[in-house]
Structure 1
Amino acid sequence: MADTAAPETATSPSPGAVVDAAIVAFAHNGYDDVKLNALARTTGMSKRMIHYHFGNKRGLYLAALKVASARITPPQDIATRSYAAPVEGMRRYIDALYHAFLDHPDGVRLVLRENLDPVAAEEDAAALVSENEVLLHVERLLLAGQDAGAFRPGISAVDLLTLVASLCFFRVGNSLTALSVSDVDFASRRNVDGMRRMVIDTVLTFLTSNIPYSGYESYLEPTPTAEEETADVYSDDGGLI
Protein backbone atom coordinates (compact mmCIF):
# COMPACT_ATOMS: atom_id res chain seq x y z
CA MET A 1 0.00 0.00 0.00
CA ALA A 2 1.35 3.43 -0.90
CA ASP A 3 2.30 5.84 1.86
CA THR A 4 -0.57 8.31 2.27
CA ALA A 5 1.63 11.01 3.78
CA ALA A 6 2.95 13.74 1.56
CA PRO A 7 6.75 13.66 1.20
CA GLU A 8 8.68 16.21 3.20
CA THR A 9 11.00 18.61 1.44
CA ALA A 10 14.16 20.32 2.60
CA THR A 11 12.09 23.38 3.50
CA SER A 12 9.42 21.46 5.41
CA PRO A 13 9.26 22.25 9.12
CA SER A 14 10.65 19.46 11.27
CA PRO A 15 8.56 17.62 13.87
CA GLY A 16 10.87 19.16 16.47
CA ALA A 17 9.95 22.66 15.33
CA VAL A 18 6.27 21.76 15.61
CA VAL A 19 6.83 20.44 19.13
CA ASP A 20 8.56 23.72 20.06
CA ALA A 21 5.57 25.70 18.78
CA ALA A 22 3.19 23.34 20.57
CA ILE A 23 4.96 23.86 23.90
CA VAL A 24 4.39 27.61 23.62
CA ALA A 25 0.78 27.22 22.45
CA PHE A 26 -0.26 24.67 25.09
CA ALA A 27 1.61 26.53 27.84
CA HIS A 28 -0.10 29.85 27.15
CA ASN A 29 -3.54 28.74 25.95
CA GLY A 30 -4.23 25.37 27.54
CA TYR A 31 -5.07 22.12 25.79
CA ASP A 32 -8.69 22.85 24.85
CA ASP A 33 -7.99 26.22 23.23
CA VAL A 34 -5.16 25.03 20.99
CA LYS A 35 -6.31 24.19 17.45
CA LEU A 36 -4.26 22.12 15.04
CA ASN A 37 -5.31 24.39 12.17
CA ALA A 38 -3.74 27.34 13.98
CA LEU A 39 -0.57 25.37 14.68
CA ALA A 40 -0.42 24.35 11.03
CA ARG A 41 -0.54 28.01 9.99
CA THR A 42 2.04 29.00 12.59
CA THR A 43 4.54 26.24 11.83
CA GLY A 44 3.99 25.75 8.11
CA MET A 45 3.40 22.03 8.61
CA SER A 46 0.05 20.93 7.22
CA LYS A 47 -2.56 19.54 9.57
CA ARG A 48 -2.32 16.28 7.65
CA MET A 49 1.41 16.02 8.35
CA ILE A 50 0.87 16.89 12.02
CA HIS A 51 -1.49 13.93 12.21
CA TYR A 52 1.08 11.82 10.37
CA HIS A 53 3.84 12.60 12.89
CA PHE A 54 1.84 12.75 16.12
CA GLY A 55 -1.41 10.89 15.50
CA ASN A 56 -3.73 13.57 16.87
CA LYS A 57 -3.75 16.65 19.07
CA ARG A 58 -3.33 14.59 22.22
CA GLY A 59 -0.31 12.86 20.73
CA LEU A 60 1.24 16.24 19.95
CA TYR A 61 0.46 17.43 23.48
CA LEU A 62 2.17 14.40 25.02
CA ALA A 63 5.21 14.91 22.80
CA ALA A 64 5.36 18.57 23.85
CA LEU A 65 4.97 17.69 27.53
CA LYS A 66 7.74 15.10 27.33
CA VAL A 67 10.15 17.57 25.75
CA ALA A 68 9.15 20.32 28.21
CA SER A 69 9.78 18.00 31.16
CA ALA A 70 13.16 16.95 29.80
CA ARG A 71 14.26 20.55 29.27
CA ILE A 72 13.85 21.53 32.92
CA THR A 73 16.52 19.05 33.97
CA PRO A 74 20.27 19.76 33.91
CA PRO A 75 22.34 18.62 30.92
CA GLN A 76 23.68 15.09 31.15
CA ASP A 77 27.30 16.26 31.29
CA ILE A 78 26.57 18.02 34.58
CA ALA A 79 25.47 14.73 36.14
CA THR A 80 28.66 12.95 35.11
CA ARG A 81 31.02 15.44 36.77
CA SER A 82 32.56 14.62 40.11
CA TYR A 83 33.78 16.99 42.82
CA ALA A 84 36.11 16.40 45.75
CA ALA A 85 33.92 18.53 48.04
CA PRO A 86 30.25 17.40 48.29
CA VAL A 87 29.10 20.96 49.03
CA GLU A 88 30.65 22.24 45.81
CA GLY A 89 29.15 19.36 43.81
CA MET A 90 25.70 20.12 45.20
CA ARG A 91 26.14 23.85 44.59
CA ARG A 92 27.05 23.30 40.93
CA TYR A 93 24.20 20.87 40.35
CA ILE A 94 21.53 23.08 41.94
CA ASP A 95 22.89 26.01 39.92
CA ALA A 96 22.50 23.97 36.72
CA LEU A 97 18.99 22.92 37.74
CA TYR A 98 18.01 26.54 38.37
CA HIS A 99 19.29 27.57 34.94
CA ALA A 100 17.37 24.73 33.28
CA PHE A 101 14.16 26.21 34.72
CA LEU A 102 15.31 29.74 33.89
CA ASP A 103 16.09 28.94 30.25
CA HIS A 104 12.78 27.18 29.52
CA PRO A 105 9.93 29.23 31.03
CA ASP A 106 7.33 27.88 28.59
CA GLY A 107 8.34 24.35 29.53
CA VAL A 108 7.76 25.29 33.17
CA ARG A 109 4.36 26.78 32.29
CA LEU A 110 3.31 23.65 30.43
CA VAL A 111 4.30 21.37 33.32
CA LEU A 112 2.41 23.68 35.70
CA ARG A 113 -0.69 23.52 33.50
CA GLU A 114 -0.52 19.74 33.34
CA ASN A 115 -0.43 19.57 37.13
CA LEU A 116 -3.38 21.95 37.54
CA ASP A 117 -5.47 20.70 34.62
CA PRO A 118 -4.22 17.22 33.68
CA VAL A 119 -4.55 15.94 30.13
CA ALA A 120 -2.14 13.00 30.28
CA ALA A 121 -3.51 9.73 31.63
CA GLU A 122 -1.76 8.07 34.56
CA GLU A 123 0.01 5.59 32.30
CA ASP A 124 1.13 8.45 30.03
CA ALA A 125 2.43 10.47 32.97
CA ALA A 126 4.63 7.58 34.10
CA ALA A 127 6.30 7.49 30.68
CA LEU A 128 6.81 11.26 30.69
CA VAL A 129 8.68 11.46 33.96
CA SER A 130 12.23 12.66 33.38
CA GLU A 131 13.19 13.13 37.02
CA ASN A 132 14.57 9.63 37.71
CA GLU A 133 18.13 10.44 36.66
CA VAL A 134 17.95 13.76 38.48
CA LEU A 135 16.80 11.99 41.65
CA LEU A 136 19.57 9.42 41.36
CA HIS A 137 22.27 12.06 40.91
CA VAL A 138 21.01 14.20 43.80
CA GLU A 139 20.84 11.04 45.91
CA ARG A 140 24.48 10.29 45.10
CA LEU A 141 25.50 13.83 46.05
CA LEU A 142 23.50 13.58 49.27
CA LEU A 143 25.03 10.25 50.29
CA ALA A 144 28.53 11.52 49.58
CA GLY A 145 27.90 14.60 51.70
CA GLN A 146 26.27 12.65 54.53
CA ASP A 147 29.06 10.06 54.57
CA ALA A 148 31.61 12.88 54.77
CA GLY A 149 29.69 14.57 57.58
CA ALA A 150 29.05 17.66 55.44
CA PHE A 151 25.27 17.19 55.16
CA ARG A 152 22.90 16.36 57.98
CA PRO A 153 20.83 13.14 57.92
CA GLY A 154 17.07 12.93 57.45
CA ILE A 155 16.97 14.56 54.00
CA SER A 156 16.18 12.79 50.74
CA ALA A 157 16.62 13.70 47.09
CA VAL A 158 12.85 14.14 46.86
CA ASP A 159 13.01 16.70 49.68
CA LEU A 160 15.69 18.70 47.90
CA LEU A 161 14.02 18.63 44.49
CA THR A 162 10.72 19.68 46.07
CA LEU A 163 12.49 22.65 47.64
CA VAL A 164 14.21 23.71 44.41
CA ALA A 165 11.20 23.14 42.15
CA SER A 166 8.93 25.08 44.52
CA LEU A 167 11.08 28.19 44.21
CA CYS A 168 11.61 27.78 40.47
CA PHE A 169 7.93 27.17 39.71
CA PHE A 170 7.01 30.13 41.95
CA ARG A 171 9.19 32.41 39.84
CA VAL A 172 7.09 31.59 36.75
CA GLY A 173 3.68 30.83 38.22
CA ASN A 174 3.50 33.81 40.58
CA SER A 175 5.39 36.45 38.63
CA LEU A 176 2.38 38.72 38.09
CA THR A 177 1.30 38.50 41.73
CA ALA A 178 4.82 39.26 42.95
CA LEU A 179 4.98 42.27 40.64
CA SER A 180 1.59 43.68 41.66
CA VAL A 181 1.86 42.99 45.39
CA SER A 182 5.57 43.41 46.10
CA ASP A 183 6.86 45.29 43.03
CA VAL A 184 9.29 42.42 42.50
CA ASP A 185 10.05 41.79 38.85
CA PHE A 186 11.38 38.24 38.61
CA ALA A 187 12.50 38.92 35.04
CA SER A 188 14.94 41.70 35.96
CA ARG A 189 18.63 40.82 35.78
CA ARG A 190 19.07 41.68 39.47
CA ASN A 191 16.27 39.36 40.55
CA VAL A 192 17.25 36.54 38.19
CA ASP A 193 20.60 36.46 39.97
CA GLY A 194 18.98 37.06 43.35
CA MET A 195 16.65 34.09 42.93
CA ARG A 196 19.61 31.97 41.83
CA ARG A 197 21.47 32.85 45.01
CA MET A 198 18.34 32.24 47.07
CA VAL A 199 17.83 28.76 45.62
CA ILE A 200 21.47 27.72 46.12
CA ASP A 201 21.75 29.23 49.61
CA THR A 202 18.42 27.72 50.69
CA VAL A 203 19.51 24.23 49.66
CA LEU A 204 22.99 24.45 51.18
CA THR A 205 21.70 25.96 54.43
CA PHE A 206 19.03 23.28 54.59
CA LEU A 207 21.70 20.59 54.18
CA THR A 208 24.35 21.98 56.53
CA SER A 209 22.29 23.48 59.37
CA ASN A 210 22.53 22.20 62.95
CA ILE A 211 18.86 21.19 63.17
CA PRO A 212 18.65 18.11 65.44
CA TYR A 213 17.99 14.80 63.70
CA SER A 214 14.26 14.10 63.72
CA GLY A 215 14.55 10.33 63.51
CA TYR A 216 12.91 10.33 60.09
CA GLU A 217 14.82 9.33 56.98
CA SER A 218 13.23 12.17 55.02
CA TYR A 219 10.69 14.98 55.23
CA LEU A 220 8.57 13.55 52.42
CA GLU A 221 7.76 9.88 51.77
CA PRO A 222 6.96 8.56 48.30
CA THR A 223 3.89 6.35 48.03
CA PRO A 224 5.10 2.73 47.70
CA THR A 225 4.28 0.87 44.52
CA ALA A 226 2.09 -2.23 44.62
CA GLU A 227 5.23 -4.36 44.16
CA GLU A 228 6.96 -2.65 47.09
CA GLU A 229 3.92 -3.13 49.34
CA THR A 230 3.82 -6.83 48.46
CA ALA A 231 7.54 -7.15 49.19
CA ASP A 232 7.05 -5.49 52.60
CA VAL A 233 4.38 -8.03 53.53
CA TYR A 234 6.81 -10.89 52.95
CA SER A 235 9.90 -9.18 54.38
CA ASP A 236 8.78 -9.05 58.03
CA ASP A 237 9.19 -12.74 58.87
CA GLY A 238 10.08 -14.18 55.52
CA GLY A 239 6.51 -15.25 54.86
CA LEU A 240 2.85 -14.87 55.76
CA ILE A 241 2.77 -17.43 58.58
Structure 2
Amino acid sequence: MTTKLSVNINKIATLRNSRGGDVPNLIKFAKDVQNYGAQGITIHPRPDERHIRYQDARDLKPIVHTEYNIEGNPIQKFMDLVLEVQPTQVTLVPDAVDAITSNAGWNTIKHKDFLTEVIAEFKNNGIRTSIFVDPVLEMIDGAKAVGTDRIELYTEEFAHQYSLGNKKAIQPYIDCAVRSNELGIGVNAGHDLSLDNIQFFAKEIPALLEVSIGHALIAESLYLGVENVVNMYLNKLKR
Protein backbone atom coordinates (compact mmCIF):
# COMPACT_ATOMS: atom_id res chain seq x y z
CA MET A 1 0.00 0.00 0.00
CA THR A 2 1.25 3.47 -0.90
CA THR A 3 0.32 6.32 1.39
CA LYS A 4 -1.39 9.18 -0.46
CA LEU A 5 0.11 12.66 -0.44
CA SER A 6 -2.37 15.50 0.02
CA VAL A 7 -0.78 18.92 -0.43
CA ASN A 8 -2.02 21.64 1.90
CA ILE A 9 -2.03 24.86 -0.14
CA ASN A 10 -2.75 27.34 2.67
CA LYS A 11 0.72 28.89 2.37
CA ILE A 12 0.10 29.70 -1.30
CA ALA A 13 -3.01 31.61 -0.25
CA THR A 14 -1.01 33.40 2.46
CA LEU A 15 1.55 34.56 -0.10
CA ARG A 16 -1.19 35.66 -2.50
CA ASN A 17 -3.04 37.60 0.17
CA SER A 18 0.10 39.43 1.28
CA ARG A 19 -0.01 41.56 -1.89
CA GLY A 20 -3.76 41.74 -2.32
CA GLY A 21 -3.74 40.36 -5.87
CA ASP A 22 -3.85 36.92 -7.44
CA VAL A 23 -0.16 36.00 -7.55
CA PRO A 24 0.56 33.19 -7.00
CA ASN A 25 -2.67 31.86 -8.44
CA LEU A 26 -4.14 29.30 -6.05
CA ILE A 27 -6.15 27.46 -8.70
CA LYS A 28 -3.18 27.05 -11.02
CA PHE A 29 -1.03 25.83 -8.15
CA ALA A 30 -3.62 23.21 -7.21
CA LYS A 31 -3.81 22.05 -10.83
CA ASP A 32 -0.03 21.89 -11.10
CA VAL A 33 0.65 19.85 -7.95
CA GLN A 34 -1.96 17.33 -9.02
CA ASN A 35 -0.32 17.09 -12.42
CA TYR A 36 3.01 16.55 -10.66
CA GLY A 37 1.53 13.50 -8.92
CA ALA A 38 -0.03 14.67 -5.66
CA GLN A 39 -3.06 12.54 -4.83
CA GLY A 40 -4.98 15.20 -2.97
CA ILE A 41 -5.47 18.87 -2.15
CA THR A 42 -6.04 20.07 1.42
CA ILE A 43 -7.25 23.48 2.54
CA HIS A 44 -7.96 24.84 6.00
CA PRO A 45 -10.15 27.94 5.84
CA ARG A 46 -10.37 29.89 9.08
CA PRO A 47 -13.12 32.34 10.07
CA ASP A 48 -10.92 35.41 9.43
CA GLU A 49 -9.95 34.05 5.97
CA ARG A 50 -6.35 35.11 6.58
CA HIS A 51 -5.12 32.57 4.03
CA ILE A 52 -7.70 30.33 2.36
CA ARG A 53 -10.90 32.21 1.68
CA TYR A 54 -14.28 30.55 1.72
CA GLN A 55 -14.67 31.41 -1.94
CA ASP A 56 -11.40 29.55 -2.64
CA ALA A 57 -13.07 26.38 -1.37
CA ARG A 58 -15.82 26.83 -3.93
CA ASP A 59 -13.45 27.76 -6.76
CA LEU A 60 -11.25 24.71 -6.15
CA LYS A 61 -14.08 22.20 -6.31
CA PRO A 62 -14.25 21.88 -10.13
CA ILE A 63 -10.50 21.48 -10.58
CA VAL A 64 -9.60 19.03 -7.80
CA HIS A 65 -9.76 15.72 -9.64
CA THR A 66 -7.92 13.86 -6.88
CA GLU A 67 -9.07 13.86 -3.24
CA TYR A 68 -10.38 17.14 -1.87
CA ASN A 69 -9.91 17.55 1.89
CA ILE A 70 -11.29 20.56 3.77
CA GLU A 71 -10.06 21.00 7.36
CA GLY A 72 -11.46 23.21 10.05
CA ASN A 73 -13.29 23.78 13.29
CA PRO A 74 -16.95 22.82 12.73
CA ILE A 75 -18.56 26.13 13.55
CA GLN A 76 -21.80 26.64 11.63
CA LYS A 77 -20.22 28.77 8.90
CA PHE A 78 -17.64 26.07 8.23
CA MET A 79 -20.23 23.31 8.22
CA ASP A 80 -22.40 25.21 5.76
CA LEU A 81 -19.39 25.66 3.44
CA VAL A 82 -18.45 21.98 3.53
CA LEU A 83 -22.02 20.86 2.91
CA GLU A 84 -22.20 23.23 -0.05
CA VAL A 85 -18.86 22.26 -1.60
CA GLN A 86 -19.12 18.51 -0.94
CA PRO A 87 -15.41 17.60 -0.74
CA THR A 88 -14.14 14.03 -0.62
CA GLN A 89 -13.28 14.42 3.04
CA VAL A 90 -13.80 16.84 5.90
CA THR A 91 -11.21 16.86 8.71
CA LEU A 92 -12.46 18.31 11.96
CA VAL A 93 -9.86 20.31 13.90
CA PRO A 94 -10.51 21.95 17.30
CA ASP A 95 -8.47 25.07 16.62
CA ALA A 96 -9.28 28.34 18.32
CA VAL A 97 -10.22 31.35 16.21
CA ASP A 98 -6.91 33.07 16.99
CA ALA A 99 -4.68 29.99 16.62
CA ILE A 100 -1.68 30.48 14.33
CA THR A 101 -1.85 26.81 13.41
CA SER A 102 -3.51 23.69 14.77
CA ASN A 103 -1.98 22.79 18.11
CA ALA A 104 -4.03 19.98 19.67
CA GLY A 105 -6.34 17.14 18.82
CA TRP A 106 -9.92 16.56 19.92
CA ASN A 107 -10.83 15.20 23.32
CA THR A 108 -13.16 12.64 21.79
CA ILE A 109 -14.57 11.67 25.18
CA LYS A 110 -15.36 15.16 26.46
CA HIS A 111 -16.82 16.25 23.11
CA LYS A 112 -18.52 12.95 22.26
CA ASP A 113 -22.06 14.31 21.82
CA PHE A 114 -20.95 17.30 19.75
CA LEU A 115 -18.69 15.26 17.46
CA THR A 116 -21.29 12.53 17.02
CA GLU A 117 -23.84 15.07 15.83
CA VAL A 118 -21.45 16.88 13.47
CA ILE A 119 -20.02 13.70 11.99
CA ALA A 120 -23.49 12.26 11.39
CA GLU A 121 -24.45 15.41 9.47
CA PHE A 122 -21.48 15.14 7.13
CA LYS A 123 -21.77 11.38 6.65
CA ASN A 124 -25.48 11.69 5.89
CA ASN A 125 -24.43 14.00 3.06
CA GLY A 126 -21.92 11.51 1.65
CA ILE A 127 -18.76 13.23 2.94
CA ARG A 128 -16.02 11.09 4.48
CA THR A 129 -15.10 12.31 7.96
CA SER A 130 -11.77 12.48 9.76
CA ILE A 131 -10.96 13.98 13.14
CA PHE A 132 -7.66 15.42 14.35
CA VAL A 133 -6.42 13.53 17.43
CA ASP A 134 -3.38 13.32 19.67
CA PRO A 135 -1.64 9.91 19.82
CA VAL A 136 -3.52 8.75 22.92
CA LEU A 137 -5.27 5.36 22.91
CA GLU A 138 -8.30 6.63 24.84
CA MET A 139 -8.87 9.24 22.14
CA ILE A 140 -8.88 6.49 19.50
CA ASP A 141 -11.52 4.54 21.41
CA GLY A 142 -13.47 7.77 21.67
CA ALA A 143 -13.11 8.32 17.93
CA LYS A 144 -14.79 4.98 17.33
CA ALA A 145 -17.67 5.98 19.58
CA VAL A 146 -18.38 9.20 17.66
CA GLY A 147 -18.59 7.38 14.33
CA THR A 148 -15.75 8.95 12.35
CA ASP A 149 -14.45 7.21 9.23
CA ARG A 150 -10.83 8.20 9.89
CA ILE A 151 -8.53 9.91 12.33
CA GLU A 152 -5.68 12.27 11.53
CA LEU A 153 -2.80 11.77 13.93
CA TYR A 154 -1.33 15.08 15.11
CA THR A 155 2.37 14.57 14.44
CA GLU A 156 4.04 17.71 15.82
CA GLU A 157 5.55 15.93 18.85
CA PHE A 158 6.87 13.10 16.69
CA ALA A 159 8.52 15.58 14.31
CA HIS A 160 10.11 17.50 17.17
CA GLN A 161 11.46 14.38 18.87
CA TYR A 162 12.68 12.91 15.58
CA SER A 163 14.68 16.09 14.95
CA LEU A 164 16.40 15.47 18.29
CA GLY A 165 17.27 11.91 17.26
CA ASN A 166 14.58 10.24 19.37
CA LYS A 167 13.09 7.67 17.05
CA LYS A 168 11.27 5.98 19.94
CA ALA A 169 8.80 8.87 19.84
CA ILE A 170 7.07 7.02 17.00
CA GLN A 171 5.71 4.35 19.37
CA PRO A 172 2.50 6.11 20.54
CA TYR A 173 1.63 6.72 16.90
CA ILE A 174 2.17 3.07 16.03
CA ASP A 175 0.01 2.01 18.98
CA CYS A 176 -2.80 4.36 17.95
CA ALA A 177 -2.64 3.26 14.33
CA VAL A 178 -2.84 -0.39 15.36
CA ARG A 179 -5.84 0.32 17.57
CA SER A 180 -7.52 2.32 14.81
CA ASN A 181 -7.03 -0.50 12.34
CA GLU A 182 -8.50 -2.96 14.85
CA LEU A 183 -11.54 -0.70 15.22
CA GLY A 184 -12.00 -0.25 11.48
CA ILE A 185 -10.96 3.41 11.48
CA GLY A 186 -8.71 4.69 8.68
CA VAL A 187 -5.48 6.47 9.61
CA ASN A 188 -4.27 9.81 8.22
CA ALA A 189 -1.51 12.00 9.64
CA GLY A 190 -0.27 15.54 9.47
CA HIS A 191 1.58 18.50 11.02
CA ASP A 192 5.32 19.16 10.76
CA LEU A 193 5.95 16.15 8.55
CA SER A 194 8.78 16.89 6.13
CA LEU A 195 11.24 15.34 3.71
CA ASP A 196 13.49 14.66 6.69
CA ASN A 197 11.03 12.52 8.65
CA ILE A 198 8.30 11.34 6.28
CA GLN A 199 9.92 8.13 5.10
CA PHE A 200 10.58 6.85 8.60
CA PHE A 201 7.08 7.80 9.76
CA ALA A 202 5.29 6.24 6.80
CA LYS A 203 7.23 2.97 7.05
CA GLU A 204 6.56 2.60 10.77
CA ILE A 205 2.83 3.39 10.79
CA PRO A 206 0.71 0.41 9.71
CA ALA A 207 -1.88 1.06 6.98
CA LEU A 208 -1.23 4.80 6.81
CA LEU A 209 -3.73 6.01 4.21
CA GLU A 210 -2.86 9.67 3.74
CA VAL A 211 -0.54 12.44 4.90
CA SER A 212 -1.38 16.12 4.60
CA ILE A 213 1.70 18.31 4.18
CA GLY A 214 1.81 22.03 3.56
CA HIS A 215 4.27 24.26 5.39
CA ALA A 216 7.34 22.04 5.00
CA LEU A 217 6.56 21.12 1.41
CA ILE A 218 6.19 24.74 0.35
CA ALA A 219 9.33 25.80 2.24
CA GLU A 220 11.34 22.95 0.70
CA SER A 221 10.02 23.90 -2.73
CA LEU A 222 11.63 27.34 -2.46
CA TYR A 223 15.00 25.63 -2.77
CA LEU A 224 14.22 22.47 -4.70
CA GLY A 225 11.22 23.33 -6.89
CA VAL A 226 7.60 22.28 -6.43
CA GLU A 227 7.50 19.44 -8.99
CA ASN A 228 10.73 17.99 -7.67
CA VAL A 229 9.60 18.15 -4.04
CA VAL A 230 6.21 16.57 -4.74
CA ASN A 231 7.94 13.65 -6.43
CA MET A 232 10.48 13.38 -3.61
CA TYR A 233 7.61 12.92 -1.19
CA LEU A 234 5.92 10.38 -3.45
CA ASN A 235 9.12 8.34 -3.61
CA LYS A 236 9.55 8.41 0.16
CA LEU A 237 5.94 7.29 0.66
CA LYS A 238 6.31 4.18 -1.48
CA ARG A 239 6.12 0.91 0.42
TM range (shorter): under 0.3
With the length of structure 2 as denominator, give the TM-score of the two structures.
0.26
With the length of structure 1 as denominator, give the TM-score of the two structures.
0.25
Higher strand share: 2
* Greater relative CO (CA pairs within 8 A, separation 6+): 2
Q: Which has the larger radius of gyration?
A: 1
